[in-house]
Amino acid sequence: MSASEEQDGSRFSRRQLVKYAGVGATLAAAGPVVGGGAAWAREDGEHDGKRGDSRGRVWRAGDHHVHSEYSGGWDDSVNPPKFIKGGDAVYPIVTNAIMAKNFGLTWAMCTDHGGPNHSKVNLEQAYPDLLRSRRLVPEVLQFWGMEFDAPALDHHTLMIPRHDDEAKMLHDLESRFAKLDAFPKDPGRDTEAKMVEFLKYAKDLRHKPLVIAHHASRSATGLGVWGQDTPREFRNGNNAAPDVYVGFEGAPGHQAGPLNGEARGGYGNHPTYGGYDQMTARVGGLWDALLGEGRRWWITATSDSHVHWTRGGSDFWPGEYSKTYVLARQDYADIMDALRNGRIFVTTGDLVTSLDVTARSQGRGAGVGETVTVSRKSRTDVEIEIRFRPLEGPNHNGDRPRVRRVDLITGRITGPAALDTDTNPTTEVVARFGPKDWRRQGKDYVIKHTLRGVASDMYARVRGTSTDEAEPRADGLESPWEDLWFYSNPVFVHVR
């Protein structure tokens, strides 16, 4: 490639970016975006409207679980153990940002693994690289945080709000609470009580972080046979900090595993279903049990990118296959607000690029993450509108995916349940829609359905698929590109 081509971002094809996005080749790929205009991506997270103001919000794709070379290894022959850069994940932070931009993301998050004294590595080595990456790729808002080695649990996103002291904030939280950061090891760091202490501490901070569970059923050994993460722990954590501990990955990363003969998602004990964790994919399962209590508990989809599958890993690039869409402005604060409040839908294989689910009754309406309140004294029919937009053109596998079916799922909200409850028997697929059931409005397809005589609190959520499976089947080694699904987060109906 000539020097003139390196300076012309328009000449970088997706294939060339993949080729150049390796360790030691970052600047070659970064060159075209240096100085790129992004005046709308305000670093301080402020915006013209008030907090919660809906003006300027559109669906923006992102990924909150991406690893860099600061997910390293450890030399245990020295005391304390020495950090080995690139020992686990291999790509520089800026490479991930370049690829995120290339695959259509407008926000992403660096989430590296912890380890002995890793809080110092993050503060002194990784954070300066993040600042450099923000300058090189301003089109992608790049959050700071880590893959938190949560006490007594599997890994979690710890997302830090964008502010001047974000680096010190992560250092404080990681050094105090991450179970692997202490050296020598401290067994007291690996208890549920420590996790609850962490969440209570976090919720009282001026700049509240977000905590989202990763690959929650990866250690489960059967359907409903839980491993490291349990319903009890989710409930206790959410009770301790409901505006901090807000959900789990519906679709975990490592989705490219089958392309190299490995289990999809790395779920070697019990499989994913259509690429989604059993906690999400099972109608009436744990996610529905939490929603049935009225909890604001959301799902996301991530890459968990460590090493691309073409280089022997099990991963897609950020945004190449999985996307978490948030309804937000292009600023840090509003993206976190969307994640905190459930203005989210997720998709794989770019099956859709927008998805709106609206519940209306008695002149009021609400979208995903929101609540519409209706009166028993009036007619309590609830109109559900589903509006989705298919991908225009091919996805990143060169396919043109087609939505074959959309399902409307509802469940009753019955109040607090026992801590170990993992099912909601009131949840059901109330309607299934095919292409003959939706009508086109511009670039969107619209479905309308009436829920008759709603007499008690409930929620509604939507999923869709490119397959003909009535329910997502347990995954084997089929290509993930042939098994695509999207899921909305719920809209709530309160009857008073």
**pLDDT tens per residue across span 329-356:** 999 999 999 999 999 999 999 999 999 9
Inform me whether the pLDDT recorded for 6 exceeds 90. Answer: no
Residue 2 has pLDDT above 50, yes or no: no
Identify the pLDDT of residue 53.
76
CB 296 within 8 A of CB 369: yes
Q: What are the two backbone dihedrals, phi and then psi, of residue 480, each rounded to the nearest 5 degrees? A: -60, -25
Mean pLDDT of 192-210: 98
Share of the chain above pLDDT 70, in %: 90
DSSP 8-class letter at 123: I
Report d(CA 155, CA 249) in Å as an integer.
11
In the DSSP assignment, the letter for residue 31 is G
pLDDT band, residue 55 (cuts 50/70/90) = confident
Which pLDDT score is estimated for 39?
26
Read off the pLDDT of residues 382-426 as tens digits, 9 standing for 90 and up: 999 999 999 999 999 999 999 999 999 999 999 999 999 999 999
247 residue type, one letter: G
Q: Is 352 exposed, middle or buried (0-12, 13-18, 19+ CB in 10 A)?
A: buried
Percent of the chain with pLDDT over 90: 88
Q: Residue 52: which pLDDT band, with cuts at 50, 70 and 90?
A: low
Average pLDDT, stretch 264-271?
98
φ/ψ (deg, to 5) at 332: -60, -45
Q: Are 387 and 356 in contact (CB under 8 A)?
A: yes
pLDDT, average across residues 74-82: 95
Residues sharing a CB contact under 8 Å with residue 488, sequence separation 6 or more, in sequence order? 345, 355, 357, 368, 461, 462, 463
Name the strand (E) or helix (H) holding 74. strand 73-75
Tell me: pLDDT of 43 over 80.
Answer: no
Contact 216, 281 (CB under 8 A): no
